[in-house]
Structure 1
Amino acid sequence: MSTQRTSDSALVDREMAQRAIELALPILEASTRDERINQGGFMHVVVMDPARTPMNASFEEAILHEQSIGGRREDWDADYAGFARAKARISWLHGRDSFHVQTAEPYRLRPGDTTLWGSVCLDGIVVAVSGGEAEFDEAFSGMVAMLLRALAKQSLRQRPRELFFS
C-alpha cells in the first residue's frame, strides 16, 4: 500500500518522502527477512509533513506518505499500518520520539494512545515504522528521517533562494 498527500513544506514533498524510503529500502526489505528483527515479515512506514503541526492540521491531513514493505497486506498478521500511525501520532503531537514520551513523559499519554514505540521526531521530521522489534522500528524511522533531512538540505542547496523570499 502506498498513500501520498500534498505538502505545505517549501522543500519536503511526497516524492521526497518516497525517495527517502527508497534509499533505505535495501535495509528495510532485508530486515523483513531477518527473524531477529521482524518475525512477521512485514513493515509499514509513515512520514509526516514537517510543515503541518497540531496547530495547523489534523493528524490525517499531516500524513505525507505511507508505504508498506514485505508482501501482500492480506497476509499481514497484525495491523502494522495502524500501529505505525499510532506511533507517528505520539511523536507528531509531542515533538519527541515515542520511546521518550512513553518512558520519560508517560503523563503526556492520552486515553487510547498506543504503548508501542518506534517513531522518531528529528528536527520536526516525524517518521514511524511498525513491523519489527521496537528498537529496530525506531532505528529504521530514524534512518528514513535522516535521509529525508539530507534530501531537503540537498534541495535547498540546489534551489534559488528567491523561492522563499518572493
Structure 2
Amino acid sequence: MARPMIEAATLDGRINGSGVFHVVVMDPARTPLNASFEEAILCEHTYGKQRAEWDADYAGFARAKARLSWLHGQDSFRLQTAQAHRLRPGDTALWGSVWLDGIVVAASGAEAEFDEAFSGAIAMLLRALAKEALRQRPRELYYR
C-alpha cells in the first residue's frame, strides 16, 4: 500500500537525493527478551537504485535505526534528541525509525524527517491491517 508513495518520493530530489530508500520492518512478536535482532527482522525492501549504485550503506543505516527503536521501544528521534543518555558506544546517531504499539519500522535514504514519515506510514498501515484482521474474526472469539 505504501509502495506508490515511496517510489514517488525516491524520485523527488527534495526528499531523497540518494535515489535509494531502504526499509526494515521488525516482527512485533519478537522482542529483545525472546530473539536476537537478526531473528526479529520480519522483512527488508529497497526502492530505487540497485545496491551497486548506492553511495552509502542505506541498508546498514536502516538496520541501525531499527535496532535502536526495537531495543528501547521508542522512535529514534526521541532517543537521539531527548534521551541521548540511553545511547551506547556504537549506536547510530541517525534517526528515522518509529515504534508504534510494538511495531518497529526504519528507513534510510531520504532526509531524516522523511525517513521517519515513511516509516510511520508503513507502521500505521501494518497496524490497520492487524485491526482489519481482528475485525474479521468471528465475534465469539472475542468473548472467550
Query: What TM-score, normalized by structure 2, do the two folds share?
Result: 0.95
Q: 2:99 aligns with which of 111, 121, 130?
A: 121
Taking only the aligned residue pairs, the percentage that are identical comes to 74
Partner of 2:32: 54
State the partner residue of 1:151.
129
CA distance, structure 2, for counterparts of residue 41 and residue 136 of structure 1: 13
Structure 1 104/81 Cα, relative in aligned 2: closer, same or farther at 3 Å? same
Q: Quote the offset at 1:73 in angstroms.
A: 1.3
Q: Give runs of aligned pairs for residues 49-88 of structure 1, distance below 5 A.
A: 49-88=27-66
Q: Which runs of 5+ in 1 are unaligned?
A: 1-22
Q: Secondary structure at the match of 2:2?
A: helix
Structure 1 residue ranges, 4+ long, deviating more than 6 angstroms after superposition = 161-166
Aligned residues: 144
- Cα distance in 2 for partners of 1:162, 1:79 equals 49
How many angstroms apart in 2 are the aligned matches of 1:164 and 1:110? Answer: 42
CA RMSD of aligned residues (A): 1.6
User: For residues 161 and 89 of structure 1, what CA distance do their matches in structure 2 show?
Assistant: 37
Once residues 82 and 20 of structure 2 are traced to their aligned partners in structure 1, the CA distance between those partners, rounded to angstroms, is 29
Secondary structure in 2 matching 1:54: coil
In the aligned structure 1, how far is the partner of 2:142 from the partner of 2:118?
A: 31
**Is 126-135 or 153-162 further displaced after alignment?**
153-162
* Pairwise CA distance, 1:103: 0.6
TM-fit CA distance, 1:134: 0.2
